[in-house]
Structure 1
Amino acid sequence: MTVCAITVDGSYAARLAGEGDALFAERWTLDGPEPYAVPLPLAQPEEPGTEVVPLSDGRVLVRRRVAGRQLFSLVYPAGAGTGELPLGGVESDCLELLPPAPDGRRVYALAPGERSSAIWLVAGGDFGPEHVAEVPGRCSGGVWLDRTGRMLALDRSLGGGPVKAVAVDLERGGEVSVLLAIAEGSDDRLILADPDSGLLLIRSNAPGRERLGWGVLGSSRPVRFPECLLLPDRAVTPFAVQPGQALEPERCGVALRIEGVEGSRLGVWRPSDRRVRQLAPPAGWLVGTGLWSGEGVLRLPCVRGERWCGVARLDTEGVFGEARDAGAVVCRPVPLQQAPLRGRVGFG
């Protein structure tokens, strides 16, 4: 479950706040001169498994599990209290919210099954939750591939076989196309994607063990697995990609969560580099959450105490020693073609 979800435009964030039996949704406003948090408690405290996702209009979607049903509501500040708009529910024992959609108005959810997985539009539709697609196979993950919220990447297994990332076209009834096919029997998962440059962050066991790699959307070049991302006795997870690097995926900054016996650290890397820069995280960082701005600033949500919220800022120019270039390009996903790995592992 995501500790803190942030809208794609960086205007709002939301998390489940509080302690013990007194949990509530909390919305952060991030697009003003100073960030601030607004608690959104209701008469009934939230359960620990509740999920929240912010919308770009300032409301927060809440997903609750109640006796085999998934119930959805929008909560928002209303005078001195909290307003709530029930949206209905879905009959499902297992359903997870997908990352905030790029338009900031819609929220989707994934309900995996043994033979097929359902995609639901749970906020932003006309009549409550709407079933929008049924994808063959058991699916997980969820990464947006464009800026419109049409193309969604999922990690899919068919009949218990290897996991392969696929692209799902939500405007064509859930039409599926292969996105990653590195080796026939490998598990190839998509972790993050940047629609501007086409950079893909991938986790795969094709090199013989599970490794982090990168590729480019729409490219025929093989996935590369840099040695610098293989840190001994540490788990490395990408959580944010720098946008706006049109046609230059190698120059995209990537923020990494690094977990080891000594605790959590922050890492920054880009494909053109041969090393990961490890940094001490800011005090109170909500570990594994953050967002690159269009200006090349990595913003990291932090909390200290019950009511203080803040955002630590890390300038790309200061980290990598160069200014960034602006621009945008639209890429449509096509399969990354299967290619031999020998001689390419450790490149870049």
Structure 2
Amino acid sequence: MTVCAPLGTPAPSDPQSPPGPSAPPGPARSAPPADMRRPAFTVTADGSYAAWLALGRGTDGWFPERWTLDGPEPYAVSLPGSQPEEADSQVLPLTDGRVLIRRRVAERYALSLLYPTGHGTGEVPLGAIECRHLCLLPPAPDGACAYALVLAERHTTLWRVHGGGNGPELLATVPGRCEGGAWLDRAGRLLALDRELEGVTKTVVVDLGRGGETSPLLQITDTSNDRLLLAEPDSGLLLVRSDAPGTDRLGWGVLGSARPVRFPECLLPPGTALTPFAAQPGHGLAPEQCSVAFRVDREGAGSWVGVWSAATKRLRQFPGPVGWLTGAGLWTTGGELKLPFVTPTVPCGLARLRLPPPEEPGGDLAEPLCLEPDDEDDEPSTGPAALAPVPAPRPVPLQQAPCARASG
């Protein structure tokens, strides 16, 4: 059941600009404690804006904050409402400078657009969806639309919650329980979801250009659990996690390629968990050169940054900046990794990681940019390598890939 609230007053014509002298400074805050799980720091597909729930000082609680990332220096704009937000609220930045927020209100989820004004925070209600659970999907490639998944007992519905008609719009119903979400193209047509159906998880593609038609993407074996962790639309590089090799492992493949998924040994460091969070754009003809950034976690040792590409066949590891919003970052086409951080003295910081040549063991974090708001040729293993073909322009399923170990 959908309950749509009336649309509010349009946002100002220039929501991107920082607050002027008359704007209130917003709630004071400090860096979140190191042992507290931080809400997601989400970046638009073009890298222009980011948004997250920042933690205020004392009893101020959580409040939305928008970061501008595409200028000469980053800056943050607070978007506090009349009361603190719940920690489970979600925020999603748009490329026009507004921020979409999803709030739980009793048995429904309310959606609104937030934007800075000279007197505080403006808000445009978008409507609400009555359901048990609603999750915003990663930012769409166009930066203007926003999508969400609504989970039911035996199926999942896909909604456009902004950028369509008047209020939330149901686009597709997918049998099974879906999670994750990755865009496979720059047009925002092909959306990959991890679907659990009959006790097995496989990645499927929802084609928004064909009325929500669903088809398989990852099916390494019939019984394996195959998930898509990250997709880079320019190169077609896919990072996957699968238990097809016998243990849960990270692998990589290329969308539309006839080559199978491979599972490099360097992506299985002992006692360490790897989570990919950003891939370098712009390598349309050379997916092996596409660098991927990982969050590296080891119990008792903390978290740091790992960088891998299929061409280098190794995982290079670097310390993150102090106050790193762990697991957040973005690549530039020039090969620079930008890592957001917050400290008590720097409420909006962006550190730049310049990669050394592959033969050099070290790595440098460049001087951080900050501004306070107030002033592989891996050897494939034995096994069948046939792919299940589908008509173009559908993605080619990475099916029946070799599952034993590969070097690199």
TM range (shorter): over 0.9
The structure-2 alpha-carbon separation of the partners of 1:169 and 1:75, relative to structure 1 and needing over 3 Å to count, comes to same
Query: Residues 91 and 102 of structure 2 are in contact (CA less than 8 Å); yes or no, is this contact kept in structure 1?
Result: yes
Q: Do structure 1's residue 143 and structure 2's residue 182 form an aligned pair?
A: yes
Q: Which moved more, 1:208-217 or 1:169-178?
A: 169-178
Q: Do structure 1's residue 186 and structure 2's residue 224 form an aligned pair?
A: yes
Pick from 76, 86, 108 the counterpart of residue 47 of structure 1. 86
Query: Residues 312 and 358 of structure 2 are in contact (CA less than 8 Å); yes or no, is this contact kept in structure 1?
Result: no
Q: Which runs of 5+ in 2 are unaligned?
A: 1-37, 361-391
Query: Residues 146 and 331 of structure 1 are in contact (CA less than 8 Å); yes or no, is this contact kept in structure 2?
Result: no
Query: Which residue number corresponds to residue 350 of structure 2?
Result: 311
Query: Residues 101 and 112 of structure 2 are in contact (CA less than 8 Å); yes or no, is this contact kept in structure 1?
Result: yes
- The DSSP-based 3-state class of the residue aligned with 1:62 is strand
Q: Do structure 1's residue 12 and structure 2's residue 49 form an aligned pair?
A: yes
Query: Residues 203 and 210 of structure 1 are in contact (CA less than 8 Å); yes or no, is this contact kept in structure 2?
Result: yes
**What is the rounded CA distance, in whole Å, between the counterparts of 2:259 and 2:171 in structure 1?**
33
Query: Which residue number corresponds to residue 365 of structure 2?
Result: none
**What is the rounded CA distance, in whole Å, between the counterparts of 1:12 and 1:231 in structure 2?**
33
Shift of 1:21: 4.8
**What is the rounded CA distance, in whole Å, between the counterparts of 1:81 and 1:291 in structure 2?**
29
Query: Which residue number corresponds to residue 346 of structure 1?
Result: 406
**What is the rounded CA distance, in whole Å, between the counterparts of 1:135 and 1:306 in structure 2?**
47
Q: Do structure 1's residue 73 and structure 2's residue 112 form an aligned pair?
A: yes
Query: Which residue number corresponds to residue 77 of structure 2?
Result: 38
Query: Residues 220 and 337 of structure 1 are in contact (CA less than 8 Å); yes or no, is this contact kept in structure 2?
Result: no
Query: Which residue number corresponds to residue 247 of structure 1?
Result: 285
**What is the rounded CA distance, in whole Å, between the counterparts of 2:393 and 2:266 in structure 1?**
28
What are the equivalent positions in structure 2 for 1:253-268 lying under 5 Å apart?
253-261=291-299, 262-268=301-307
What are the equivalent positions in structure 2 for 1:1-348 lying under 5 Å apart?
3-19=40-56, 20-159=59-198, 161-261=199-299, 262-305=301-344, 308-316=347-355, 318=356, 320=358, 332-342=394-404, 345-348=405-408
- The DSSP-based 3-state class of the residue aligned with 1:282 is coil
**What is the rounded CA distance, in whole Å, between the counterparts of 1:123 and 1:306 in structure 2?**
36
The letter for the 2-side match of 1:113 is A
**What is the rounded CA distance, in whole Å, between the counterparts of 2:39 and 2:169 in structure 1?**
23
Map Cα deviations across residues 314-342 of structure 1 (whole Å, 9 max, x no partner).
234x35479xxxxxxx9751211313334
**What is the rounded CA distance, in whole Å, between the counterparts of 1:192 and 1:139 in structure 2?**
16
Query: Residues 197 and 245 of structure 1 are in contact (CA less than 8 Å); yes or no, is this contact kept in structure 2?
Result: yes
The structure-2 alpha-carbon separation of the partners of 1:331 and 1:305, relative to structure 1 and needing over 3 Å to count, comes to farther
TM-score, reference length from structure 2: 0.79
The structure-2 alpha-carbon separation of the partners of 1:319 and 1:285, relative to structure 1 and needing over 3 Å to count, comes to farther
TM-score, reference length from structure 1: 0.93
**What is the rounded CA distance, in whole Å, between the counterparts of 1:2 and 1:174 in structure 2?**
30
Of all paired residues, the percent bearing the same amino acid is 60
The structure-2 alpha-carbon separation of the partners of 1:275 and 1:340, relative to structure 1 and needing over 3 Å to count, comes to closer
**What is the rounded CA distance, in whole Å, between the counterparts of 2:248 and 2:129 in structure 1?**
35
The structure-2 alpha-carbon separation of the partners of 1:2 and 1:190, relative to structure 1 and needing over 3 Å to count, comes to farther
Shift of 1:273: 2.2
Who wins on radius of gyration, i.e. which is larger?
Answer: 2
Map Cα deviations across residues 232-289 of structure 1 (whole Å, 9 max, x no partner).
1111111111111122111110000011120001100101222211111111110001
Shift of 1:3: 1.9
**What is the rounded CA distance, in whole Å, between the counterparts of 1:306 and 1:82 in structure 2?**
24
The letter for the 1-side match of 2:228 is L
Query: Residues 5 and 53 of structure 1 are in contact (CA less than 8 Å); yes or no, is this contact kept in structure 2?
Result: yes
Q: Which runs of 5+ in 1 are unaligned?
A: 323-329
The structure-2 alpha-carbon separation of the partners of 1:100 and 1:2, relative to structure 1 and needing over 3 Å to count, comes to farther
- The DSSP-based 3-state class of the residue aligned with 1:250 is helix
Shift of 1:112: 2.1
- The DSSP-based 3-state class of the residue aligned with 1:83 is strand
Query: Which residue number corresponds to residue 364 of structure 2?
Result: none
Query: Residues 217 and 331 of structure 1 are in contact (CA less than 8 Å); yes or no, is this contact kept in structure 2?
Result: no
**What is the rounded CA distance, in whole Å, between the counterparts of 1:321 and 1:39 in structure 2?**
43
The structure-2 alpha-carbon separation of the partners of 1:182 and 1:34, relative to structure 1 and needing over 3 Å to count, comes to same
**What is the rounded CA distance, in whole Å, between the counterparts of 1:306 and 1:62 in structure 2?**
27
**What is the rounded CA distance, in whole Å, between the counterparts of 2:339 and 2:358 in structure 1?**
17
